[in-house]
Amino acid sequence: MISTEASFRGRIKPLSLADLLFFLADLNRDGLLTVADRGIVIDLYLESGRLVYATSSRAKDDLSALLLRWQCIAPERYDAAMRQVAEGARLERALVEQGGMTPAGLRQARHRQALHIVLPLFNWRDGEFSFFEGEAPQGELPRVQLPIAAIVASGIRALRDLDLIVLRSPSLDRVFDAIPPNRMTSEPVALRPAETSVLGLVDGARTTADIIRASGQTDAEVRRTLFLLSVLGRVKPRLRPGRAAAETAGRKERADAGEILRQFNGMFGRVYRYLTREIGPISDHLLRRSLQETESDHPVLFSGSSLSADGTVDLPPLRENLTGLHGERGRGLLVDGLNELLYREMLLLRRTLGAEHEKRVLTGFRREMQDPRMLA
């Protein structure tokens, strides 16, 4: 029986499943991840950073139906196995005794079924997810052992809707730095020759557009590979000062979480003071709603978080949520979430007061970031 209270929940955005799976694996969170959209429900059971079992509400994803479709079992043997199941036998036993399958072939089919269920999720543009920590498959079900990194790599490589890559990383001006293998935080995944070629062009100076031209590969394939390398922790984006106010807090290459939080909170506080001066106490309600909306998209980071009386984000819940995440992945999760919150607050300010007021606040951000005391 699944508990009714999820540890956290939120909405699926383009390719956010990759981030979510890696987050749960990095924190070694065991439990049930449920993903749903338009009547389809997918259950993914995770243990020790691996997918161990997957189920789908679609009848066509049942193992018996897939075996027949994959021509792993003859129709007459399939019918005999299903008759035995109807009489109370377990599916695996019936498939071996009546279907002519071997235990090894059945294990291989289970692995194939799990990938068949999970890989299409990477093409989802929308949906909802819930994570139930501690939930495990009921009964003596046969388990697979699929590493999360391998699943994510396969999902990105099999992606049909390449527009999702553009939605996640639209800029051709972005520059990446390669990360040495000894600093990687995820389980190693072997790269394909074309991916290795793109990685070799990442030098901290070439833009995405430069890499596309130098690689001889298509725009879509290079973007796919750069996104894959970024998710796997093989490259990281280099933030350029002055490109956007929301990126200025990440200017220090080795800034720790405390420094990142301090710099972002400086900006959150400025937005709060400006809005309060212009529209009064209602700004507190509007900004808290922005945080709630951001928590829906970044539930892992913002779970249990709140705004202080001065408009800054309370630090203890964020620090607790980041416990166990180290290196580039933890830093990336933190910066992405805080960037999203700052973007929502600035959008609120623009819609409420107009573009001229937004410009004044952005100018204040840049002035503060140029103050040596802010970078000390």
For residue 19, give the amino acid letter: D
pLDDT at 369 over 70: no
Alpha helix (H) residue ranges in 100-249 = 103-118, 148-157, 163-168, 193-200, 208-215, 219-231
Tell me, what's the pLDDT at 165? 86
**What span, in angstroms and rounded, lies between the C-alpha atoms of 345 and 303?**
18
Cα–chain center distance at 96: 38
Q: What is the pLDDT of residues 198-215, one digit of tens each?
A: 999 999 899 999 999 999
- Mean pLDDT of the chain, nearest integer: 82
**What span, in angstroms and rounded, lies between the C-alpha atoms of 101 and 189?**
31
321 versus 219: the higher-pLDDT residue is 219
Tell me, what's the pLDDT at 249? 41
Tell me, what's the pLDDT at 42? 96
Tell me, what's the pLDDT at 85? 85
Contact 174, 208 (CB under 8 A): yes
- pLDDT over 90 for what percent of the chain? 29
Report the C-alpha dihedral over residues 12, 14, 15, 20, rounded to 10 degrees: -30
**What span, in angstroms and rounded, lies between the C-alpha atoms of 347 and 100?**
62
pLDDT at 34 over 60: yes
Q: Is 94 helix (H, G, I), strand (E, B) or coil?
A: helix
Tell me, what's the pLDDT at 341? 92
324 versus 41: the higher-pLDDT residue is 41
Q: What's the pLDDT band for 326 if we cut at 50, 70, 90?
A: low
Q: What's the pLDDT band for 4 if we cut at 50, 70, 90?
A: low
Contact 213, 336 (CB under 8 A): no
Q: What is the pLDDT of residues 79-127, one digit of tens each?
A: 888 888 888 888 888 888 887 788 888 889 999 999 999 999 999 988 9
Instruction: Give domain limits for the chain.
Output: 8-153, 162-238, 245-375
CATH number of 162-238, picked from 1.10.10, 1.20.120, 3.10.50, 1.25.40: 1.10.10
